[in-house]
A and B are shown apart, each in its own frame.
Chain A
């Protein structure tokens, strides 16, 4: 099968083949193939799905000139916006936060993920790097993956299975899975691969910390300093010293004290073993545990690893999953039945063929005719689903309207800066340590340096926002809290509608002093209305609309457009 795929099809042909499989399925179900969408609709949708925002007036017009869908997809996938949109995709799976567990700053980890996307690092390689990372958050930011669940090894294992394999094994953490085949023993065998992962720094390092604490306590007592003891604790945390990830080959995993099954005794030490896919077992070389698990996870023979990423990317593009839900696509070691098995298996092979190059894979999806069809208002596999924008798409579209170029501002990459900021602990006394911490706090706040603002809110990409008012906007519209994997939703509620109707952001957009408002000063009435319509909903006003909007002022037009179905829905 693999051989055939490789030899017969190029990327374009993969798109055609996808269409063929879908057409066959629809024919079999006696359903019609959906109609091709209008160009205006296509451009807007492609921008939203690929670069996470609506096109500007100018971008929409430019497409009308060259009118080549394939060229547009190529342009979008190679733009910065694609990276930003993919960052949000990863951020929801990896549950990226500004603060990791134990209050450590997650900034370098976030930046690292951003870098991997920019390089288009093959997905399997990325996962492997994450699962084998060691060091501090500053020497190797990928350890952020373990530090995100610091002190919660078993939860981290559950998240690894859910995020990368689409397997929900979390029940088996405490007992045999009630309606799946996972046993608690298997859970412990899987977790045993990570027992050697040590996320708390070693004795030597802790001794240095105690020395600094004593110094700080002494200066506090002598009233030379105030709160130094407390701040040394912060320094220890924020400097990444407390949570150096390394291997402790002596550490073992034992069954819990209340273990109740016949296949083991409470307190019994468990050896690592994979239950499904290629069987991998613990050998004498305990330093091989982490890498051998990572290899097992990303192996082409893993029953769900490839299908998991295929399913998630399909869902991102078309608004529905091939296997629902994204976080649970397997029954024990087999894929669940999908909406179209033939299609899923074909795409799994394609993913392997393109060597997990997600840009290539996404190109294949977005170049299908099926993607370019009119949306399906129901859910019959007849086109992408008509849906509300995600919170991030909505925010990024609003900011596009506000600033025109949303990707102009980029945060500084500060991985190196932080690495040099925190030297070896043995070289420091408490006064020096406190000075470094003070610097760190100042530098940490400079993350948003130079970022444009709309009123009191940063007018920047959702992918750069982790706190503050803009973050609240996203949570209100169902953006993931990133506590759980893919935890967002597109449900509607009245608070959202009040926000679209009356918020400060809407008022900023309605102001004649806004970017669009200023632009219109030079235009005739008819052109101006056209400009605003196309900017917001990607099309020209109809005759009836022109009539209805006669004499209506700029602010009111903006209010109506931002509240319209066509603005917030992906149609």
Chain B
């Protein structure tokens, strides 16, 4: 089975609705593929992409030079080497300081409500791109159960979940008895003739074809040489990024890779020694590989999180939630390289230039994916929405 058909099969649902699709014009697509890295818990901006000189504020974090015209924290030595491809946005600001609400806002651009679920950016991209009608071009690696998924869009735009990148696509190991069992299944299924039975027959046939196809290998990172696997780091983030790279090669549009453990209320610095190393190993290897395979010009990597952390170090050597100022990073397709955008004050506690909201960032990413961020879309109940809630494209960071 061709990949396209496989993806289509994955997407098709019994009630697949393809409402209001509006595929982008190819010329407008700077980022053909997007790898969206989400750091669950809130990454300390001060100890990573927005380090300061004030010892009271930075603790043990030191500045290092990069191949861009800005400095970052010393825990990111490998990323420093690829920063000429990146724009570090230091002026992200929000008002939401609780995890779930802030994560929801990051992924959907909307405030969480009790009466509707907004689609996450990945579902928007896959839904509107709609390259071959109803493609779930959205894979979610290490996802969480509170992920808003496809929101009010058709369920067929829900992300395909990869629980652990090491295991690949769940339940996809082929049994040599498959053929015999399928034959018996056909015998017993003859008894029921109804439209819903036909639908299931098709699903089973598609599934069997997929299980026998080469596409399955896209999800199998054990096919990579072990040296390469180690270069990404053995963490779930690192292995997830390696999987993401394979999926980009297979031309899947939006891959979200989550990483947990960033909520450093206690022992911020020792915890970050591990977390940031995972990020540094994984993302640097990813950028290098995409570049050497000629895919960095068409792939955008986003590093996002729900908020920053307090400049004040608390009694437990930790940092608490801080939505007022934090960092977001864009690397690769469509963005200027080697650039820091926006600025916080000397204590990283306040944005002083070029403040942007998460909506602005999502609008920029969506724009690079070739989507029309000004267009209004209607939810099934008729409520009007824009895909990044009126966010403004940050034009000065576009290449």
Q: Is A107 an interface residue (CB 8 A)?
A: no
Contacts of A176 in B (CB 8 A): none
Are the C-beta atoms of A489 and B184 separated by less than 8 Å? no
Q: State the B residues within 8 Å of A (CB).
A: 9-15, 113-117, 145, 155-156, 160-161, 163, 169-173, 175, 177-178, 180-181, 184-185, 187-189, 191-197, 199-200, 203-204, 206-207, 210, 265-266, 314-316, 318, 381-383
Instruction: Given A548-B187, A556-B177, answer yes or no on A497-B203 (Cβ-Cβ < 8 Å).
Output: yes
Are the C-beta atoms of A484 and B116 separated by less than 8 Å? yes
Q: Which listed residue (B163, B185, B210) contacts A494, Cβ 8 A?
A: B210
Contacts of A484 in B (CB 8 A): 114-117
Instruction: Given A158-B114, A494-B210, A502-B171, answer yes or no on A387-B180 (Cβ-Cβ < 8 Å).
Output: no
**Docked complex: A91-118 residues within 8 A CB-CB of B:** 95
In addition to A495-B161, A501-B171, 16 A-B residue pairs with Cβ atoms within 8 Å of each other are: A170-B116, A173-B115, A227-B265, A388-B196, A472-B163, A481-B117, A484-B116, A487-B117, A491-B15, A493-B203, A494-B10, A498-B169, A498-B207, A544-B187, A556-B181, A564-B189
Q: Is A249 an interface residue (CB 8 A)?
A: no
- Max count, chain B CB within 10 A of own CB: residue among A229, A387, A472: A229
Instruction: Given A489-B155, A493-B10, A503-B171, answer yes or no on A565-B116 (Cβ-Cβ < 8 Å).
Output: no
Report the bound CA distance from A503 to B200 in whole Å: 18
Contacts of A498 in B (CB 8 A): 169-172, 207
Are the C-beta atoms of B155 and A478 separated by less than 8 Å? yes
| Least CB distance, B123 to chain A, in whole angstroms | 14
Q: Which listed residue (B12, B191, B200, B207) contacts A501, Cβ 8 A?
A: B207
Q: State the A residues within 8 Å of B (CB).
A: 95, 149, 152, 155-156, 158-159, 162, 168, 170-171, 173, 178-179, 217, 220-221, 226-227, 229-230, 328, 377-378, 386-388, 467, 471-472, 475, 478, 481, 483-484, 487, 489-495, 497-499, 501-503, 542, 544-545, 548-549, 552, 556, 559-561, 563-566, 568-569, 571
Contacts of A378 in B (CB 8 A): 195
Instruction: Given A494-B210, A544-B187, answer yes or no on A569-B192 (Cβ-Cβ < 8 Å).
Output: yes
| Least CB distance, A294 to chain B, in whole angstroms | 19
Are the C-beta atoms of B187 and A158 separated by less than 8 Å? no
Report the bound CA distance from A560 to B186 in whole Å: 9
Q: Which listed residue (B13, B114, B207) contacts A159, Cβ 8 A?
A: B114
| Least CB distance, B274 to chain A, in whole angstroms | 18
Task: Report the number of A-B residue pairs with Cβ-Cβ less than 8 Å.
Answer: 155
What are 21 A-B residue pairs whose CB atoms fall within 8 Å in the complex? A95-B114, A155-B113, A158-B114, A170-B115, A178-B382, A227-B266, A229-B314, A388-B196, A472-B145, A483-B117, A484-B115, A490-B14, A491-B156, A494-B206, A499-B170, A502-B173, A556-B177, A560-B184, A560-B185, A563-B185, A569-B192
- Closest B residue to A498 by beta carbon equals B171
Contacts of B191 in A (CB 8 A): 542, 565-566
Contacts of A95 in B (CB 8 A): 114
Report the bound CA distance from A156 to B113 in whole Å: 10
- Closest B residue to A377 by beta carbon equals B194
| Least CB distance, A336 to chain B, in whole angstroms | 14
| Least CB distance, A270 to chain B, in whole angstroms | 20
Q: Which listed residue (B169, B188, B383) contacts A560, Cβ 8 A?
A: B188
Report the bound CA distance from A227 to B271 in whole Å: 15
Report the bound CA distance from A494 to B173 in whole Å: 14
Contacts of B15 in A (CB 8 A): 489, 491
| Least CB distance, A109 to chain B, in whole angstroms | 16
Are the C-beta atoms of B114 and A149 separated by less than 8 Å? yes
Report the bound CA distance from A495 to B188 in whole Å: 22
Q: Which listed residue (A156, A168, A502, A556) contacts B172, Cβ 8 A?
A: A502
- Closest B residue to A220 by beta carbon equals B315
Q: Which listed residue (A168, A230, A471) contacts B266, Cβ 8 A?
A: A230
Instruction: Given A499-B170, A560-B185, A563-B185, answer yes or no on A494-B9 (Cβ-Cβ < 8 Å).
Output: yes
- Closest A residue to B111 by beta carbon equals A152
Q: Which listed residue (B145, B169, B195) contacts A471, Cβ 8 A?
A: B145
Contacts of A386 in B (CB 8 A): 194, 196
